[in-house]
Amino acid sequence: MFDRPQFIADCLAANQSDRTHRPVHELVARAVAEPGSVLTALGEPQRAGIETLHRSAELTILNVVWGAKMTLMPHNHQMWAVIGIYTGREDNIFWRRIPTEDGGHGRHGRIEAAGAKALSVGDAVPLGRDIIHSVTNPIPRLTGALHVYGGDFFAIGRSEWDPETLREQRYDVVRALQAFEDANGLQR
């Protein structure tokens, strides 16, 4: 049975023993392997949003609920992450920086699609610290996922890419949170 306080304690202990994503990935995979247990503990998602289960300089644990058909623009995390789906589905497009004319990967350059991965109930995947991805909930109902980050998700400087021009800009957490609220308005 998924136990929220125990999951948090286990993630913290795992991260202390090994600062890579590996032991946390195992914990998230084990949790979402029993999605009904996670649903019972966290509750059936009622609206899109981000619930912080734990936040510290070393680790952030979130319950992310994607709105029906919601898409979040390309962004990076600047730390490893592990995502585990306990209800619904999440589609990820992975992006890479386009080399600049001088052959570098300029900070304010553009990106291009480099791959994709669909995540379903019971899937748990790690993302490296340099991954750039966008997320879509392709189904007409809410999707719930455990997200664990190897640092303070809300404090680190990150980037996002304009969905139309694919140009890099500073990550705007207020805009990202507003996307969840906007998704709630579409579901009414």
- pLDDT, tens digit, 9 for 90 and up, residues 129-141: 999 999 999 999 9
- pLDDT, tens digit, 9 for 90 and up, residues 53-77: 999 999 999 999 999 999 999 999 9
Q: Residue 39 and residue 88: Cα distance in Å, rounded? A: 11
Q: Residue 123 and residue 29: Cα distance in Å, rounded? A: 7
CATH number at residue 23: 2.60.120.10
pLDDT of residue 155: 92
Q: Residue 77 and residue 81: Cα distance in Å, rounded? A: 8
* Phi, psi for residue 110 in degrees, rounded to 5: -100, 175
pLDDT of residue 159: 95
Is 0.85 surpassed by the pTM of this model?
A: yes
Give the count of domains, the chain: 1
- Range(s) of the domain holding residue 79: 4-186
C-alpha dihedral (13, 15, 36, 44), degrees to nearest 10: 100
Cα dihedral 147, 151, 156, 159 sign: negative
pLDDT of residue 83: 98
* Phi, psi for residue 51 in degrees, rounded to 5: -105, 125
Closest CA to 25 of 141, 133, 125: 125
Mean model confidence pLDDT for the chain: 93
Can you spell out the DSSP letters for 107-121? TT-BEEEEEEEEEET
pLDDT of residue 109: 75
Q: Residue 40 and residue 42: Cα distance in Å, rounded? A: 6
CB 156 within 8 A of CB 78: yes
- pLDDT, tens digit, 9 for 90 and up, residues 157-179: 999 999 999 999 999 988 999 99
